[in-house]
Amino acid sequence: MREYIVKADKLKKVYSSESQKIIALKEIDIEIKKGEFVTIMGPSGAGKTTFLNLVGCLDRPTSGKLDILGCDPTKFNEEKLSRIRVEKIGFIFEDFFLISFLNALENVQLPLIFARNYKNNNRPRDLLKRVGLDHRLTHFPNELSGGELQRVAVARALANNPEILLADEPTGNLDSRNAQELFNLFRDLNREKGLTIVVATHNIRLGYSADRVIHLNDGKMEKDERLAK
C-alpha cells in the first residue's frame, strides 16, 4: 500500500503576468502520509492556498515533482484531472460554495452524479446524518446557518469517499463555537476512517489541534512541527 498521499519535491509555483512574476512557492519539499491530520499555517500571501490548489489538482505547478495518490498530475489532461478531483479529493472552501437552488441533500448528491456513482444512493443521507444535519435535508442554503452550511460542504466533500480532504480556511466565516465543532468533526473523521486531512488556517489554537503543523512563509517551508498527542 502507498505510504504517502502527497509527495512534493522542489515544488515551485510562479504566477506570471505581463508586468510581474510572483513566486508563490519556492521549491518546497513536503510529504504527507496516509492518515495524517495536517494544518498549514503562515501569514497572508505565504502560499497556503497555492499549495492546496496544487495538491487538489485545481492548478498545475510551474516546476518540481508532485505525486498525489501515486499519480503525477502534471502528466494528465484536463479531463483526467477533473476525474481525480471528483473521485479522490474532497475540497472545502471558506465560502462553502453550495448551489443555492439545490437543497442540502441535493448538494451532497451532486458529486455522485458527476462521478456517475449511482450505487451509493444512501451515502449523501448518511453523510448528512454523520455531520448532524439529518433534520435539515430539504433546507436550501439560504435556510441554513453558517455552521450548518459548512457541515453540508463537508458532507459534499466526502460524497465520493475521497482519499484526502483539503480545506482552505474553512472556519473563516464561522464563529468560534462552530469553528471548534468543524475541527472536532475533522478530528473524528480522521480517527474513525483514517481520512487524510490538510487544512489551511489562520486560527492558531485550532491549527495546533492537528497532528502536524506545516508553517509556510514567503513560499518556503519555515517549520514542520509534529505534535505529541
Kindly list the residues in this chain that would bind ligand ATP in the complex (CB under 6 A). 15, 22, 24, 42, 44-50
DSSP string computed for 87-123 = HHEEEE-TT----TTS-HHHHHHHHHHHTT--S-TTH
How far apart are CB 174 and Mg ion at their closest, in Å? 16
- Quote the cell numbers at residue 89: 479529493
Question: Of these partners, Mg ion, ligand ATP, none, which one is at the site of residue 107 (CB under 5 to 8 Å by kind)?
Answer: none
How far apart are CB 169 and Mg ion at their closest, in Å? 6
| Pair type for strands 63-68 and 4-16 | antiparallel
Q: Which is nearer to Mg ion, 57 or 167 (CB)?
A: 167
Question: What residues have CB less than 8 Å from 86, skipping those under 6 apart?
Answer: 111, 114, 115, 160
Contact between 86 and 115 (Cβ < 8 Å): yes
How far apart are CB 58 and ligand ATP at their closest, in Å? 11
Question: Of these partners, Mg ion, ligand ATP, none, which one is at the site of residue 170 (CB under 5 to 8 Å by kind)?
Answer: none
Distance CA 108, CA 102 (A): 9
Q: Which is nearer to ligand ATP, 42 or 124 (CB)?
A: 42
How far apart are CB 46 and ligand ATP at their closest, in Å? 4
How far apart are CB 215 and ligand ATP at their closest, in Å? 11
User: What is the number of alpha carbons within 13 Å of residue 91 lying toward its C-beta?
Assistant: 21
Which residues of the shown chain bind Mg ion in the complex (CB under 5 A)?
A: 48-49
Q: Which is nearer to ligand ATP, 95 or 126 (CB)?
A: 95
Question: Of these partners, ligand ATP, Mg ion, none, which one is at the site of residue 111 (CB under 5 to 8 Å by kind)?
Answer: none
Question: Of these partners, ligand ATP, Mg ion, none, which one is at the site of residue 147 (CB under 5 to 8 Å by kind)?
Answer: none
69: phi > 0 → left, psi -120 to 50 → alpha, else beta; which?
Answer: left
Q: Which is nearer to ligand ATP, 127 or 200 (CB)?
A: 200
